[in-house]
Amino acid sequence: MIIASFNLNSIRARMPILLEWLQDARPDLVCLQETKVVDSGFPELEIQASGYEVIFRGEKAYNGVAILSRHQNRNRPPQWEDGSEETRLIRARIGGIHIVNTYVPQGVHPLSGKFRYKLDFLQSLYAFFDSAFSPDTPLVWAGDFNIAPSPEDVYAPEVFAGSVGFHPDEHAILDRFRKWGFTDLFRLHNRGRDEYTFFDYTIRNAVKRKMGWRIDHIWGTRPVADISKRAWIDLRPRLLKRPSDHAPVLVEIKI
DNA sequence: ATGGTCGTTGGACGA
């Protein structure tokens, strides 16, 4: 079973790339972020025609999340757990595995109220995990975390130290998630640097120049980590015409 | 070509 996370930066603008990538990579479960569309405008029929069930929650212009599941899997309706008006969290259960897909606020600047909101969002999410699940639960947390966990995950860690996305307060919260029981499944299977999921549009040839950030993640509790076989980033969609600024990250689970 | 690019909007804002 292959699980993927992909920030699309608008699902409507990205349909050609999404559909081609689904056919190509054939993931079993896909967590999407930044769909940027209200539910009445979500391209549900096209997704279904490509072989996936889908659940989604979006709003006008901003945010928006969805979970795709290949037709042979069972799905269940989304439940909201963060109490937010924003559409940043959606969850499902596929077989015995729980999936939580989040679009964590970007944070803008460490001195801004939006950074405080980002930290609060993560603290609420931690409380949700702690109340709704046990570390023994087969649980996947996937999405755009908007945080690069370690110096290997930013192309210029000395430049960006203390910046939003690579800030000690963010790292302290991620450490809490680790202590609770989560493992970064990509990092479990990959040691190298220069492996990124986000490349700023304003940096020309950023992928080729390896100027990116690893801010999209698939984390799992121990039961999931124990059956994970490999994890990788698929840069191909980022290299196409009119790409998202993110590339998908994938994990293969023995199930 | 000299402060960069997208997407959603319908003038900025978010990223």
pLDDT in tens, A114-172: 999 999 999 999 999 999 999 999 999 999 999 999 999 999 999 999 999 999 999 99
Give the whole-angstrom CA distance, residue A89 versus residue A67.
10
Average pLDDT taken over every residue of chain A = 94
DSSP for A9-31? S-HHHHHHHHHHHHHHH--SEEE
CA dihedral A229→A180→A187→A169, nearest 10 degrees, is: 160
Q: How far is the CA of A249 from the C1' of B7 (A)?
A: 22
Q: How many CA atoms lie within 13 A of A145 on its CB side?
A: 29
Asked whether residue A72, judged by its CB, lies under 7 Å from any atom of the DNA or RNA strand B, the reply is no
Work out the pLDDT band at A17, boundaries 50, 70, 90: very high
pLDDT higher than 60, residue A35: yes
Give the whole-angstrom CA distance, residue A89 versus residue A58.
10
pLDDT in tens, A44-56: 999 999 999 999 9
Q: Could you give all domains of chain A from N- to C-terminal order, each with its CATH number?
A: 2-253 (3.60.10.10)
Helix (H, G, I), strand (E, B) or coil at A122: helix
pLDDT in tens, A180-190: 999 999 999 99
Name, in order, each residue with C-beta under 8 angstroms of A65's C-beta and a sequence gap of 6 or more: A31, A32, A33, A35, A56, A57, A58, A87, A88, A89, A90, A101, A102, A103, A143
Give the whole-angstrom CA distance, residue A54 versus residue A70.
9
Q: Nearest 5°: phi and psi at A152?
A: -65, -15
A136: which 2 tokens? 């023994």
Asked whether residue A191, judged by its CB, lies under 7 Å from any atom of the DNA or RNA strand B, the reply is no
Asked whether residue A112, judged by its CB, lies under 7 Å from any atom of the DNA or RNA strand B, the reply is no
pLDDT of residue A53: 92
Q: How far is the CA of A245 from the C1' of B4 (A)?
A: 15
pTM: 0.96
Farthest-apart Cα atoms in chain A, separation: 47
Contact between A119 and A173 under an 8 Å Cβ cutoff? The reply is yes
Asked whether residue A80, judged by its CB, lies under 7 Å from any atom of the DNA or RNA strand B, the reply is no
Give the whole-angstrom CA distance, residue A56 versus residue A87.
9
pLDDT of residue A95: 81
Give the whole-angstrom CA distance, residue A94 versus residue A99.
7
pLDDT of residue A18: 98
List, by residue number, the catalytic residues of A.
Answer: 103, 144
Q: Which segment of A79-83, A94-98, A173-177, A210-214 scores lowest on mean pLDDT?
A: A79-83
Name, in order, each residue with C-beta under 8 angstroms of A180's C-beta and a sequence gap of 6 or more: A126, A129, A130, A135
Work out the pLDDT band at A85, boundaries 50, 70, 90: confident
Q: What is the mean pLDDT of residues A18-40?
A: 97
Give the whole-angstrom CA distance, residue A73 versus residue A213.
32
* Neighbour count for residue A85 (Cβ, 10 Å): 8
